[in-house]
Amino acid sequence: MKRMNFAALAFIAAATASPLAYAQDVAAGKSSFNKCIACHAVGENAKNKVGPELNGLNGRKSGSAAGYSYSEANKNSGLTWDEATFKDYIKDPKAKIPGTKMAFAGIKKETEINDLWAFLAQFDAEGKIKQ
C-alpha cells in the first residue's frame, strides 16, 4: 500500500509540475532559430546583421541594442521583451509593432514559439549561456 501511495504521489507531482518544463525544448528552439539566423545573431560573438543581435533579450527594451538602426516604430513601441511579449510578437511582428522593419511572417505553432523562446532566453547580455 505504501508503494502504491508513493507511486500515486510521484505521478501527481509529475503531472502538475510546471508545464513550461515540459513545453520548452532548447534544442528544438536552436533548430527553429535557423529561420532567424539570416537576420539575427545570438551567442558570444553575436553582431547586428539585418536585424539586431538577440543576446540578453529577456528584460531588454525594444529598440535598444547598441549600434543597430531601429525603425521609429520599434524605438517608440514601449515594449520590454519578456516571455509573453516575445511570444505575442513572434506570431505576427508587423501586427504587434506596426511600422517595424522586420520582414518576417511570424511563427504560428505554439510549441515552436515556446522552444524558440527557451533557446533565446538562455543567453545573457554578453551572449553567454546562463547557468
**Domain boundaries along the sequence of the chain:** 23-121
For 23-121, CATH number? 1.10.760.10
CA distances, 75 to each of 37, 60, 63, 79, 107 (Å): 22, 12, 4, 9, 23
Confidence of residue 24 (pLDDT cuts 50, 70, 90): confident
Instruction: Give the lowest-confidence range in 2-11, 42-51, 63-72, 121-130.
Output: 2-11
Distance CA 37, CA 50 (A): 10
User: In the predicted model, is pLDDT for residue 86 greater than 60?
Assistant: yes
pTM over cut 0.85: no
